[in-house]
Amino acid sequence: MRIGELAARAGTTTRTLRYYESRGLLSARRAVNGYRTYDEEDLKLLRQIRTLQDFGFDLEETRPFVECLRAGHPEGDSCPASLVVYRRKLAELDELIEQLTSVRAQVGAQLARAEAAVPGGPEPKCELGGHA
């Protein structure tokens, strides 16, 4: 299959495929007229890359998975190097989620404080002081 079809089947663009090739992630045979030619195995590689990209992996981080598949393994994560990336990414995600949760709490606290200070904003639902 040619680049347009591969891109369509993977839900991406030809530009993206050429970019991956320039990064050494996806190689292509060439037809006599110079057109890139791909097979089902390339589609598998490409889908592996896209899945990891959707997870937020850097392109470089997908390389071990691609090389693993190229080496003939059934899955991109059938190799130790891929597992290392998984573990590192998990640690990064945990760190990031923790930071964002902390920021969320701080921003939430700021909002609550500011709303309390601005009359007419929060529309207080309970009257804390005084009965009249």
Partner DNA sequence: TCTTGCCTTGACGTCCGCGTCAAGGCTTAC
Partner DNA sequence: GTAAGCCTTGACGCGGACGTCAAGGCAAGA
The pattern of x and - marking residues 56 through 75 that bind DNA according to CB under 7 A reads --xxx---------------
CA distances from residue 131 to 26, 87, 121, 123, 127 in whole angstroms, order as listed? 73, 59, 22, 18, 8
Q: Which is nearer to DNA, 58 or 115 (CB)?
A: 58
Binding residues for DNA, total number by CB under 7 A: 21
Six token digits for residue 72 = 């003939």
Nearest distance in Å: CB 81, DNA:
18
Closest alpha carbon to 82 in 59, 63, 58? 63
Contact residues toward DNA (CB under 7 A) are: 2-5, 12-16, 18-19, 28, 32-36, 53, 58-60
